[in-house]
A = this chain, B = another copy of it.
Amino acid sequence: MSVIEVGQQVVTMVNVFTVAPENQRRLVELIVEATETVMRDVDGFISANIHSSLDGTRVVNYAQWRSVEHFEAMHRNPLVHPHFTDIRAIASPEMHLYRVDYVEEVAAVR
């Protein structure tokens, strides 16, 4: 379970991958694999939340890191590079870092 809230000590990465529908499942598997074998042990990792679009053409990784510095250090970690190479072979990432400005929740679904 991950939480979106204003004022948390996190930086949010939203990475939208464009993918051919026939590769969408494989892409989700590769990102899960990268998360489980490397990312979750990297200093500053908080969460990864992997979503697949209903139309088959996108995968979103909504990830939370402790700080921009932690996120940038992850990119210098050689263990992550083979995973990025595998992912980029079948998908085009579009990645930005964000702050949370506003949260409105009207109905608890839990």
A interface SS class: strand
Q: Is the pair A105, B14 in contact by a Cβ cutoff of 8 Å? A: no
Cα(A11)–Cα(B54), bound, Å:
9
Determine the interface band of chain A, counting residues with CB < 8 A from chain B.
Answer: 35 or more
User: Hey, what's the 0/1 contact readout for A28-51 against B, CB within 8 Å counting as 1?
Assistant: 100110011001100001111111
Q: Is the pair B2, A1 in contact by a Cβ cutoff of 8 Å? A: no
Q: Is the pair B47, A106 in contact by a Cβ cutoff of 8 Å? A: yes
Q: Does A100 belong to the interface (CB within 8 Å)?
A: yes
From A105, which residue of chain B is reached at the shortest CB distance?
B47
Cα(A50)–Cα(B104), bound, Å:
9
Q: Does A98 belong to the interface (CB within 8 Å)?
A: yes
Q: Known contacts being A3-B2, A62-B62, is A99 close to B49, with CB within 8 Å?
A: no
Q: Is the pair B46, A2 in contact by a Cβ cutoff of 8 Å? A: no
Q: Is the pair B4, A52 in contact by a Cβ cutoff of 8 Å? A: no
